[in-house]
């Protein structure tokens, strides 16, 4: 029961570099989400997807790009990383009912 996995778990990158965080789920959930967690802000929604090839912006989408060519994968790309994007990123998924959202273990990203 792999569930939802994120990679890499830890990443240090330089300002201006492109970084992609991967998310894979084995449940065939239709909905997938990307959140970032910052001290004092809780978790904020970056992007979400209702199905393959359907994505939409969340609360803090600027500087991020997502795609969803396959139901099980939902990569998040920082096209040109900035220090303000240093954060912990959580991927999540849920079925169409939305009754329960399951979270991955997080990706710690540091931009120097």
- Give the binding site for another protein (CB under 8 A): 31, 33, 35, 40-45, 48, 50, 58, 90, 94, 98-106
Beta carbon nearer to another protein, 16 or 56: 56
d(CA 48, CA 92): 9
Burial class (CB in 10 A: 0-12, 13-18, 19+), 81: buried
Beta carbon nearer to another protein, 14 or 62: 62
- Minimum CB separation of residue 25 from another protein in Å reads 13
- Three-state SS sequence of 47-101: EEEEECCEEEECCCCCCEEECCCCCCECCEEECCCCHHHCEEEEEEEECCCCCCC
**Residue 64 vs 90, nearer CB to another protein:** 90
- Least CB distance to another protein at residue 81 (A): 22
At closest approach, how far in Å is the CB of 87 from another protein? 14
């Amino acid at each position: 029961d792999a569930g939802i996995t994120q990679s890499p778990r830890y990443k240090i990158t330089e300002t201006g570099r492109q970084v992609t965080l991967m998310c894979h789920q084995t449940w065939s959930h239709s909905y997938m989400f990307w959140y970032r967690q910052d001290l004092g802000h809780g978790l904020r929604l970056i992007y979400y997807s209702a199905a393959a090839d359907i994505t939409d912006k969340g609360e803090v989408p600027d500087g991020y790009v997502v795609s969803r060519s396959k139901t099980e994968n939902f990569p998040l790309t920082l096209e040109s990383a900035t220090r303000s994007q240093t954060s912990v990123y959580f991927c999540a998924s849920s079925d169409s009912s939305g009754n329960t959202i399951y979270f991955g273990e997080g990706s710690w990203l540091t931009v120097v």
